[in-house]
Every structure is written in C-alpha cells, then in structure tokens.
Structure 1
C-alpha cells in the first residue's frame, strides 16, 4: 500500500472541513447527517471518519480551526475586529449559525461542554491578553475591570452571531461595532 504524503492528508482534512462547514451552515448540527456530509465533502463516510472520529469531532475541529483564526485576529487587532470580519466575510463564519444548537448542547452534554471550552479558551485567552496590553498602553478604560470588559465583548459577539444566524440584515451593525469599540476605550 503506497504511503500518503502529509500534504495529501492535510488537503483531504481541509476538503472535509470546508464541506462540513457548508453543511453545518445550511442544515445545522442535527441536520448535518452523514449522507449530507458525504454530499458536501464529495467523500465517503469512511474517508470522512478516517480523519475525524465522529460528527462531534468534525464539528469541534471546525471550532478549533476558527478559534485559532479568530484568536490570531483578536490578539493582534482585538475582538471587535473579529466581529467586523464576521460582517465583511460572513461566508467564513456561516457555520456559527449553529450557535443555538451549541448553547443547548453546552447546557446538556458534559463531554461536549468540556471539549468546546478547550477550543473556545484560545479565543478568550487571546482577547484577554489583548485587553491587558491595551490597558497597559493606556487605551482601555480603567473604571471597569478587564474581565468585565471581556464579558461585555463576549455578550456582544454572541448577539452578533445570533443576529447573523437569524438572517436579519442590518446596515447599522458596523456603526454598532464602532460604538462597542468606543465604549471600552479610555476617554480623553
């Protein structure tokens, strides 16, 4: 049996993740059946689940990939920029419309909650580090603890995701994000 190169394996995993992202976005977590995942990726269930143990593992791999990408942006440009990217490139984040399903599973499924928290911690850590750096540079308001600012930004992020997921278009969202950004900056 010939050896498969790491590049080929990485390309196959990327193909699976791209198809799964589209499938989860269109059908939600529960509706992304194995048959639909096969259609979306163009691969057999054997090929898909050779790389990912099950649908949860596939979903969490998407979460990990996106958390890394968002953490990089948050670390360098802030969490509000992540939100701006969601508005300007919604196709890169459309699978996050499954957020309501994620919230339900976080509440009821301990194993999923544990796995999800490991992946979401990267974005939280990057955002917190960025906020601390901004505070040290005198750019973050000082009358509110950093963890409260982080909580505020998390709530705004969740609200933005819910708004995008509902399909509501709102031309005012960039201005709303300007307001969010201004509300955490040090005045004067």
Structure 2
C-alpha cells in the first residue's frame, strides 16, 4: 500500500486534470496499469485483460480515468480505492505477475497482434514472412479461376480485374485455355439439360 501511495505522487506528471487532483489522490491510488494513445500490442493486451478483470472483480474498488498529456496525447490509467484492501491485493497480484512474465494473457496478445497487423484482409504489416493471412496467401490464379467459375470475370482489352488486389492483369495463355474449357463444359451441360428436359436424355453429364 505504501508503494502505491508513493507511486501516485509522481504518476500524474504531465497530465491535465479536470477535477481536484489532491482530493482524488487521497481516495484513489494510481496503479502502474495504463493505456496510451499509441499503445503497442503488448500494452493494449495487458491493459484490456487486467482492467477487465479488476473492474469485474472489484466494481466498487477500481476505476479507470482518461487524461490529456503533453507527451502521450492522452492516456487511461487504472485506479484502486485506498481503503479497499481486497482490490489493492488484486492489483498487487497482477503487478507481481507482470514483473515475473510480462504478458497478462498469451492468447489475447496473439489476437491483438493479429488485429493490429491486419486491419483488413487486404493488409499485412506482420514481420513474420510465413504469415498465413489472406494477403500473404492470396493467389491471383485462384481468384481468376473462381471468377471464371462464378461468371464474375471482368475483362477489358485482354486484361482481367482481380477484386482482391484491385489490379488489372494480362490474361495468360493458360488462363485462356481455362476459360475455353469452362465455356465448353457449360455449353455441353446446357445441351444435356435441354435434351433431358425434352425426355431425350436419361442422364446429365
């Protein structure tokens, strides 16, 4: 408890308050758990996991507050009531846990890292060269075949448009052959369907 009281004295350097700082600091201790505007995945994950746990476990003994800051832009910090021994004990438990390992929840951290590295299916900012996201595993060839199969191929001047890449690509000889094969198959199927409907064919190819 003495450590939190001492920590609180210097925790608000550079922060802008819209309430009475002294009276607030007498009732609430600042904790080392904070979330800044430009948080990296580890900071964001630890903040989310720890703040959710403490706010759920001690709804009356823990609060979060946001502040403007000349350096961070803004930040949020977790506070614990100075007279709530159980909440303080939980805060200390999380502090000890982070001091020992540094990650509040590995699974949640992985999820946050993935989301930050992949703001959309067409973006990848991961440093992993073997990332298995849609962007890294995308194949224009697969997109072409899917477009042909579904009849959604857009062609202009011997170039086709890849919806995933948002780019025009020249049609290769192999792709021309695939288009011809699909067209021939569709023609045969249409003829067979017509014969079957007329009762002249007992099966469909």
Q: TM-score, normalised by structure 1?
A: 0.27
User: Larger RCO: Structure 1 or Structure 2 (Cα < 8 Å, ≥ 6 residues apart)?
Assistant: 1
**Bigger radius of gyration among the two:** 2
Larger strand percent: 2
Larger helix percent: 1
Q: TM-score, normalised by structure 2?
A: 0.25
